[in-house]
Amino acid sequence: MSIGQAVALGIALVAVLATVAILSLAWRRDASANTGTLDKAARRSKVRRPSFATTASSTETTVETEQPETVPEPVAAAPGRVVTEVSAAEFGETRRQFLNRATGVSFGAFLAFFGITSLAFLWPKLSGGFGGKIDAGDIGEIKDAIFQPDGSIEPFYVAEAKTYVVPFDESLLSQTDFDGIDVVVDGLTGLFQKCVHLGCRVPWCSSSQGFECPCHGSKYNAAGEYEDGPAPRNLDRFTLEVVSGRLIINTGSVRDTPRAKTKTVPYPQGVNCL
């Protein structure tokens, strides 16, 4: 994993941890506020006693006595039911508690979204897609597909890696800028399909045995070395390795080199496509 990938992964993990911390803090503040309210209420009030309503006796006796004033009879209630008063502070959440919790949840959701998108961005690199190491196939089969019976070549295109695999004469490697940067292995090199001028995809021209960009006319030979046009350098290429007879392209490791002074292959070898 590169430094950039490690930094991005670290940011994603920090975002997730920050989300958990904020939600925990908001919950703690709400719990503290409720505890404080209940403690104050407990200090102010005495212990409530349940009030039981009594029912009128079915066998009342009438006593004819004079009373100074008429007292209304109490409203009958269901026997055995406890009536308890609940204060406004004890019922539901206060406005401040609601706003604190809503703010914490919103900010936590934002951080969680940021963390998830960061992991989604890194996932191809971590799971072997473009940006990571890609198995191009059996190296023997790749060579069989490249070299044609008439002596010409046809690049082996690896769509997942966006790479043209082409032959390279290793006897000339020490005379080039590709020496020592792990872009040539077992007589093969992997060229990034993107033109180094403005990023157009460069197609292969079978008649000239080279790559010719249709956007602005940059041309490269079969080894991806600069030949003509506005391109500032050779085609970029990826580092390669062979593991158990299979060619592995590391698309997370791109190498660029200046315009080739020594060409390892002739160009053009026929009519140009552009």
pLDDT, residue 249, reads 98
- Residue 152 CA to residue 208 CA, distance in Å, equals 10
pLDDT, residue 59, reads 45
- Are the C-beta atoms of residues 189 and 223 closer than 8 Å to each other? yes
Q: Tell me, yes or no, if the pTM score tops 0.85.
A: no
Selected residue with higher pLDDT from 91 and 211: 211
Q: Given a cut of 80, is residue 53 above it in pLDDT?
A: no
> Which of 63-77, 131-145, 181-195, 219-233 comes out lowest in average pLDDT?
63-77
The tens digit of pLDDT for each residue in 132-166 reads: 999 999 999 999 999 999 999 999 999 999 999 99
The tens digit of pLDDT for each residue in 159-218 reads: 999 999 999 999 999 999 999 999 999 999 999 999 999 999 999 999 999 999 999 999
